Structure 1
Amino acid sequence: MSKKETAAAFSKHQLAQSNQFSNREKDVLSAILEEGKTYTVLQAKEQLKTYLKKEVI
């Protein structure tokens, strides 16, 4: 199995409680992640990165 297949998945709430993210990042994750879905830490970081790089209009 690859790392991607064995990576643990977490809920939006669990990621928002994680020490791996700053308070600012936790706020953004709470806003952009979907309820009822699970994400690996890598997926959450990718979502965060994508969101923060969006152009502000």
Structure 2
Amino acid sequence: MAPVGGTAVQDHVALAEIELCGELIIAASAASGERLSMESIDQVLRVGEENGD
């Protein structure tokens, strides 16, 4: 049930995690049945990049 009054709560961390999971799913499906390497996973998850927020 939606809150009365149009109040929406946004969890930016949860939204970012959902986006990254989606990107992993896309990368895994594009891998043509092969496992993603740790380097590929790090690249998809942008490990080591600075956060530009």
- Whether the TM-score (by the shorter chain) exceeds 0.5 is no
TM-score, normalization: structure 2?
0.33
TM-score, normalised on structure 1?
0.32
Structure with the larger helix share: 1
Q: Normalized per residue, which structure has more strand? A: 1
